[in-house]
Amino acid sequence: MGRLGSLAAAADELGVTAGAVSQQLQKTERQLGRTLFERKARGLQKTPLGEEITRRLSSAMAELSAAVALAEAERQGTLTVSVPPVLAEKWLVKRLSRFHRAFPDIRVRLDASLAFVDPGKSDVDICIRFGRGDWPGVRAEKLLDQQVFPLCCPALAKTIERPADIANHPIIRDPDAMFEWDVWLGPNGLTPDILQEGPDLSNASLCVDGAIAGLGLFLGWEPMATDAIKAGQLVAPFPDRYPTGLSYWLIEAETGTRSDSARAFKRWLKSEMS
């Protein structure tokens, strides 16, 4: 109830009546000899002691849930990895067969998500995220710096000889990108006003597909574009790469890697990205 804020919400989550929750609260307060909630016209309000007990109990329950999840995962031999959807789709899924060949007894479950996950407080063993590595309460190890460069289909690449030539072609944009074209334009002596309009696509994966389809130029990066470049579907007209200040990070519980399976996956992942 302290977490949800009302008797009704607590009763609904527990599958009991509000009266049953109220009786249990009164019993707990009698046993402690202290008041945990003040009864007011607008409902129940936590006392300072109730606030502190709620905070500590929430933390303890999270630790208990994580411990149970860890035991269950170990029993099932399942490793849960949370990974950004674009990285999962364009890079990781295509390489999982190598991991399975090297570690046939480890079953991997991919959770494709952008939401931050603390492996110490969930059933996730390893979390891969994109950013600056400044997440609190976890251990973050850099995997790969983001370095961007223009990408396009082979036919369009034949018309591009120098950086200024990009002004002659549509620009594919991801409205949710965490960087702008000026990361590449500035070092090449260009300004954003030379860029043409082009399609706005809702994520980087679609932008890659749009570039392959010849819709224009996209400012991409490794490892997202690795396979398309190797397959000849995309071309990088210029050799130089430019850092955005962002990176891929491997996130673990603050106490470190929790299982042998997670340690094996961590070593394999770093080897693949290198």
Lowest-confidence segment of 57-71, 84-98, 221-235 by average pLDDT: 57-71
pLDDT value for 27: 80
Overall domain count for the chain? 3
Global confidence as pTM: 0.68
Highest mean pLDDT among 9-23, 48-62, 163-177: 163-177
The domain in which residue 13 lies consists of 7-73
pLDDT value for 75: 46
122/182 same-domain check = no
The answer as to whether 1 is a domain residue is no
Query: Does residue 73 surpass a pLDDT of 90?
Result: no
Q: CATH no. for residue 121?
A: 3.40.190.10
Asked if 18 and 31 touch (Cβ cutoff 8 Å), the reply is no
The whole-number average pLDDT for the span 32-38 is 80
pLDDT tens readout for residues 174-223: 998 999 999 999 999 999 999 999 999 989 999 999 999 999 999 999 99
66/157 same-domain check = no
251/123 same-domain check = yes
Q: Which of 73, 93, 115 is the last residue of a domain?
A: 73
Residue that has been written with the tokens 């849930």 in this structure? 65
CA–CA distances in Å: residue 97 to residues 79, 103, 164, 179 = 15, 10, 42, 33
The answer as to whether 2 is a domain residue is no
CA-nearest of 11, 52, 56 to 1 is: 11
Share of the chain above pLDDT 90, in %: 61
The answer as to whether 34 is a domain residue is yes
Q: Is the peptide bond before 84 cis (omega within 30 degrees of 0)?
A: no
193/239 same-domain check = yes
pLDDT tens readout for residues 41-56: 666 777 888 788 777 7
